[in-house]
Structure formats: C-alpha cells, structure tokens
Amino acid sequence: MPSARAVGDHSLREHHLITKADFSLEGEKAVVLTFDDGPSKYIGSFLDVLNEEQVQAMFFWQSRLLHYKRLWKRTIAEGHMIGTHTHRHPNLAQLNADKQREEIETSKREMERIIGLPIQHFRPPFGQYNVDTLNIAAAMQLDVVLWDVPSYDWELKKDPDKIVSNVVENVENGSIILLHELEQTLYVLPQLIKELKRDGFSFRTL
C-alpha cells in the first residue's frame, strides 16, 4: 500500500503531512501503532490487548462504520486517539476536489457529532492523495498522517507471523506503523507489542 506523491507543490497551502514521528526531544525510543478501516467488530478485542499491554494507539475510522454499538467511548476513555479515514474509504486521488472535500468534511462532521470531540488527524485511504487532498486537509486544520512501516497485514491472513517480522525488521525510533482492524492482526498483536518492547520501544500517539 505505497503512498502516492502529490504533484504541483507550488499550489499547496501550509499543511502538516506526517510520515514519521520525532520523539528525540523527549529522549524516548518510541513508535506509533495505527489501525485503519474500523471501527470493526474486533475493536473490543483490540482494546483488550492494548489495555493488557498498557499501550496507546491511534485509530483511523470510517465515519459510516461509527455507530452506537462500536466502542468509541471506551476507545477514548482508555487514552487512544481517533482520526478520520473518510466516510466511505474511496481512493481520493481518483476524485475531483469537490468529491474529496465532501468525503473528508462528511467524515469529520459526523465523527465529531458522535464522539463530541474535535478530529485533528486524517489518513487518506490506501495512502493515496494529491494536492487537492492536502489543501482540503489544511483548510480543515487536519494533520495528514501516513506511515513509514507498513505491516502488509491485509495480505497475510494465511501467514500472520509475517506481520510481526515485517514490522520489527523495519521499525526505527519514531516509526509510524500501519496496521488494520483485521482478525490476523489481532491474532499477532500481543506478540508484536512484546517484541517491540523487548527491543526497547515504548508506544506513543501523535
């Protein structure tokens, strides 16, 4: 799931595009766990693991999936951050500016209406974006959060242990790790967290 590069940067407004965190000033060796495409039916189990390991994470959710049965109150109460992943998860780079704005605005508005908190972080589906995407996000005061370590968990249903190796073999201080709310990811999440802790990493949000 490589990220597209925006072209025509001369037309960009001031924006915040984050592919990696900088924890150097805090003197920490830390990473950011991020989970896309929820809130799913597995969210409670993901929260159980994170709570057991005392780890905070970031969840990028589609607003169309955010309803009262999803555990958004618990997610916030346990210190995790929620960002928008659009409303219907389209490839924004294939949409014109008006359609992109509708997706992002709808998602931000609906999520804020439900959870009662401002949404400050945005991740474009598939990591695909263009100049319009960045300008729209900037106008809405959204930080665009990508990643530098993809787990490829969406390809590894039959080989979930590879998710762990994909991460631990490539992670660095400040890495933003791309995961999804998938069954195979849930299966290996305790092992992944333990291995990262063993390598000296703590866990932060942006």
The catalytic position among 67, 161, 180, 199 is 180
| 7 Cβ neighbours under 8 A, 6+ residues apart | 130, 131
- Contact status, residue 163 vs residue 35, Cβ threshold 8 Å: no
Q: What is the token pair recorded at 37?
A: 């495409």
- 98 catalytic per annotation: no
Q: Measured between alpha carbons, how far is 78 from 102 in angstroms, rounded to an integer?
A: 31
Catalytic status, residue 85: no
- H or E element: which one contains 47? helix 43-53
Amino acid, single-letter form, for residue 79: G
**Which residue among the candidates 15, 36, 37, 153 is catalytic per the annotation?**
36
Q: Which residues pair with 180 in a beta bridge?
A: 36
Active centre residues (catalytic): 36, 180
